[in-house]
Amino acid sequence: MKKSGILNRHLSGALARLGHTDLVMVCDAGLPIPDGPAVVDLSFRSGVPSFAEVLDGLLDELEVEGATAAREVRGANSAASGLLERRFTELELVPHEELKARTREARLVVRTGETKPYANVLLRCGVPF
C-alpha cells in the first residue's frame, strides 16, 4: 500500500499513464465533461475536496510545462485566480467557452467538489529532464 502522495488508486493509476504534452483538466463540480477523456471524480460534498487542495496534490506529482484557465476567473473568483497566478509563471487565459471546448482534448479530467465559479485549469504535462 502507498504511504504518501496520491492514495486514490484510480487517480494514481491515471497519472502514471500520462506522458509528455498530455492534457489534464482539473475542474470544479459544475464544468461539463465531454465524452472521451478518462474521468476521476473526487467530488464528495459541496467544496470537498477543494480546487486548491486537488491542484496542489497534482502539482506535487506531475511535471507541468503549461497551464490554461478561463479569463473570467480574474473577475469572478479571486481566490482561484490568485492561486493560479502563484502556481504558474506563464498562465494562458482564454474565454471560458474555449476552455470548455479544449476539455475534449484532455486525456484525463479530475473533478473536484469546488463550487466557486471558474475554478478550472488545463495542465500540459512536461518532462522532468
Q: Which of 37, 35, 56, 38 is nearest to 114 (CA)?
A: 56
Of 20, 30, 36, 104, the catalytic one is 20
Question: Annotated binding residue at 119?
Answer: yes
Check whether 118 is labelled as a binding-site residue: yes
Does 96 count as an annotated binding residue? yes
Instruction: Classify residue 96 as exposed, middle or buried by CB count within 10 Å of its CB (0-12, 13-18, 19+).
Output: middle
User: Is 10 considered catalytic here?
Assistant: no
Three cell numbers, residue 44: 464528495
Q: How far is CA 41 from CA 37, 60, 65, in A?
A: 12, 19, 24
The answer to whether 120 is a known ligand-binding residue is yes
Peptide bond into 49 cis (omega under 30): yes
Partners of residue 123 on adjacent β-strands: 24, 67
The Cα 13–Cα 18 span in angstroms is 9
Catalytically active residues are 20
Residue stretches of the annotated binding site for substrate: 28, 96, 118-120
